[in-house]
Structure 1
Amino acid sequence: MIMMLLVSVAMSAPAMAASVTNKDGDTQVLVIVEDGSRMEVALEPGSTETICPSGCFVTLPNGDRMALNGGEEVEIQGGAASVK
């Protein structure tokens, strides 16, 4: 009974991931560090990716770094990011 309740609560919790949209005309590569793991994500022009479901650090193409907690909407334009 308790296990069913825990599963139900976990499934009803909304996913809190960040979304990143590339509004540039060129592919942009982000470096993401999440839970100690590093990966690169290439965003094609006009594409949107969902990243960082449990928070992360992102290095942008222009070298800026930002911390994301999840739930943010990030737009990349001119290699720089703005958070909505």
Structure 2
Amino acid sequence: MKRMIMMLLVSATVSAPAMAASITNKDADTQVLVVVEGGSRVEVALEPGATESICPSGCFVTLPNGDRIALSGGEEVEIEGGAASIK
């Protein structure tokens, strides 16, 4: 019985979803972000009103205004006026 409970706990831990950061573009224009995660660099274009989930294991994001923020996952970020606010 103990072994079965332990296997269920391990299974639940392994299958738990990673927490990703959520970024929403509240501007009227498309915003292009530069995301660096695990040594990989990618540009993410966010249309007006769009929300994107990124950085499940942490990353750095360069915003359109040049600011660079570190995300660990789970944050909610809003872009307005090219600047970010983290909630």
Q: Does the alignment reach a TM-score above 0.5? A: yes
Map 1:12-23 onto structure 2 (within 5 A).
13-23=16-26
Map 1:4-43 onto structure 2 (within 5 A).
6-11=10-15, 13-43=16-46
CA–CA distance in structure 2, aligned partners of residues 7 and 74 of structure 1: 31
Aligned to 2:60: 57
CA–CA distance in structure 2, aligned partners of residues 8 and 66 of structure 1: 31
Q: Which runs of 5+ in 1 are unaligned?
A: none
The one-letter code matched in structure 1 to 2:14 is A
Query: 1:15 Cα shift?
Result: 2.1
Query: 1:9 Cα shift?
Result: 2.0
How much is the aligned-residue C-alpha RMSD, in angstroms? Answer: 1.6
CA–CA distance in structure 1, aligned partners of residues 64 and 31 of structure 2: 6
CA–CA distance in structure 1, aligned partners of residues 13 and 35 of structure 2: 29
For the pair shown, which has the larger CA radius of gyration, 1 or 2?
A: 2
CA–CA distance in structure 1, aligned partners of residues 59 and 26 of structure 2: 21
Runs of 4+ residues over 6 Å off in structure 1: none
Aligned to 1:83: 86
Normalization by structure 2: what TM-score?
A: 0.87
Identity %: 78
